[in-house]
Structure 1
Amino acid sequence: MLESNKALTFEELENDNLMKIKALKICSDLRGGWDKDTVQELKAFHDDYIEIRKELESYREIVNQGWKALQVAQELTNQQNQMKAQMKFIKENLPEHLPTDQGNSRSNSSSAGRNVVQGASSKEEQNTAKAVLPSDGSKVVKGKKNWKPFQFITVEEFETVPKYIRGRLQYDQVNKAVTELNKTLEAKYALLSRPRNKLRPMELKNVHVFKQQETTETAGTRFVVDSDIKQYSKLRLDTAGRAMLTVLRTLKHLQEIRGPGNLMRYAVRSPTE
């Protein structure tokens, strides 16, 4: 008889079994019926089938376990892809600015705020800020007080602003406006701190305008006005820009000082000592 244990595929196993059945029929015909040894051959054939069935059941169980493992792997792959997408979203939408820790000591808050502004500004913004420094290389005269910049807002603060005020504004938009306000503030007061004999005629004219805008009410504050923002920053004072200023005023990150007339000053509160 042919042995089926040499078959490597189901097709080969089927062919082997068909040849066995054909051989048994030939034996039966030659012997004139089912003799004892033919019955033994048939029984052996039956036993082979039982063994094959057991092996198939074993293979089926292995396949089922493999299928379950594949499902688990697919689920893990889906979770990994979701995490990857989330990380990509976080990377692409990471705020350019991180609010300073306003709980720090007063002596450290000013330098920390300036570091945040300088660190958050892009290379282009830093170049713009440098453009307002003296062209003759003279140093800016530092005041005795440590002035603080406009502070960045936190997400928690932004969420407290009523919807009718912030409208469609995004958190990061407001902090970008803070960066532009600080650029304006630093440019204006860098110019004010320079010696008058180092100023060009146009710069002297600007300094004269700055001085005219100061009143007793602005004492102890640094402020900018609309014309300063237009001259020294990229912040557009359209509907959205005005809304950003309103958000900052609502959160008390900015103080408005009005008058005389239509003049509006956007001021930082008292400096740190």
Structure 2
Amino acid sequence: MDSADLEDLCSHVNSKISIIKKTLHLRNIGQDPSLTSVLSKVAHEMYSLHDLLNKVEKEVRYQESLTNSLKELQGTLSRDFSEATHLTENIPAYLPKKASSSNSAPDVKTEVVVKVTEPEPAKKPAKEKIIKEMELITVQEFGNIPAYIKNRLTYDQINSTIEEINKAVVGKYKILHQPMKSLSNNAKKLLCRFKDEETKDTKGQFFIVDQDIKEFTQVKIDKRFHGMLSILRHCHRIREIRGKGLVRYTVC
């Protein structure tokens, strides 16, 4: 055996002996009555420290959960803000504009000279006949439309279709309300068709057919348009009257 190996072995044995001596010394101390109270206090402090560490761990878990909830809330608020900004920047043109305040003072004062003249006998105006038009869909109504009916159609697309249908209704009934002698030949042909399409069920109603939409608008009568009609029926904007091989879209 080399001297180096012998020295290592002696060092290892001496280390073990030292550990055994320390262990015996500590055991003797533990059996000393004068140190029992000190050891009891140390044990109590250890238990207290362990309990405190458990509370700290529980608080850390709670704070992590709270942080995750706040991150989710932040994400929701960011999406809502983006949607609100988009709506603000894309307000439909057909919505009413905010009236200007009447209290605002004009920049330039102008004098108005009113001339008082003898009024001429007023002619009795002809009674204007009112043409019923569909009301636009509100945001709340759009939100309540089932997804299977709405499909991918947007709020603006639906209201644009309503405006086009109203054009056809107005175009048709302006011809119906004019005297026959004031109509052009084409308008007279249309008037005859309008009369032929009327039934006892349409009396007093405002309605159009597919041909009227083709006549007065650029709307295509396709699958997408019929999807729009399903939404308008669901929102009680139109109802259908069938007969003589025609579907009549009546304004509700």
TM-score (norm 2): 0.52
CA, structure 1 residues 90+157, in 2 after alignment: closer, same or farther (shift >3 Å)? closer
Aligned length: 147
Distance apart, 1:238 and its partner CA: 1.5
Deviation at 1:235, TM superposition (A): 2.1
Contact 1:140–1:193 (CA under 8 A) maintained in structure 2: no
Aligned-pair CA distance for 1:91: 4.0
Tell me the equivalent position of 2:87: 90
Conserved in 1, the CA contact under 8 Å of 2:169 and 2:207?
yes
- Please give the secondary structure, in 1, of the residue aligned with 2:231: helix
1:38-53 alignment runs, 5 A limit: none
Structure 1: runs of 5+ lacking an equivalent: 1-81, 100-138
Runs (4+) off by over 6 Å: 82-87
> How far 1:239 moved relative to its partner?
1.4
Q: State the partner residue of 1:152.
A: 136
Question: How far did residue 213 of structure 1 move?
Answer: 0.7
Q: CA deviation at 1:254?
A: 0.8
| Alpha-carbon distance, 1:160 to partner | 1.9
Q: CA contact under 8 A between 1:98 and 1:152: conserved in structure 2?
A: no
| Residues 131, 173 of structure 2: 8 Å contact kept | no
Corresponding residue for residue 264 of structure 1: 247
User: Percent identity of the aligned residues?
Assistant: 38
The answer for the alignment partner of 1:52 in structure 2 is none
Q: 2 CA distance for matches of 1:207 and 1:268?
A: 19
Distance 1:231 1:147, change over 3 A: closer
Matching residue of 1:217: 201
Structure 2 distance, partners of 1:140, 1:255, is 32
1:176-197 residue CA offsets vs partner (Å, 9 max, x unmatched): 0110011111111111111111
RMSD over equivalenced CA pairs, Å: 2.8
Aligned to 2:188: 204
Task: Tell me how far 1:198 sits from its aligned partner.
Answer: 1.2
TM-score by length of 1: 0.49
**What is the CA-CA distance between 1:84 and the residue it aligns to?**
9.7
- 1:178 matched residue in structure 2: 162
Relative contact order: is structure 1 or structure 2 higher (C-alpha 8 Å, sep ≥ 6)? 1
Higher-Rg member (1/2)? 2
- d(CA) in 2 for partners of 1:201 and 1:147? 23
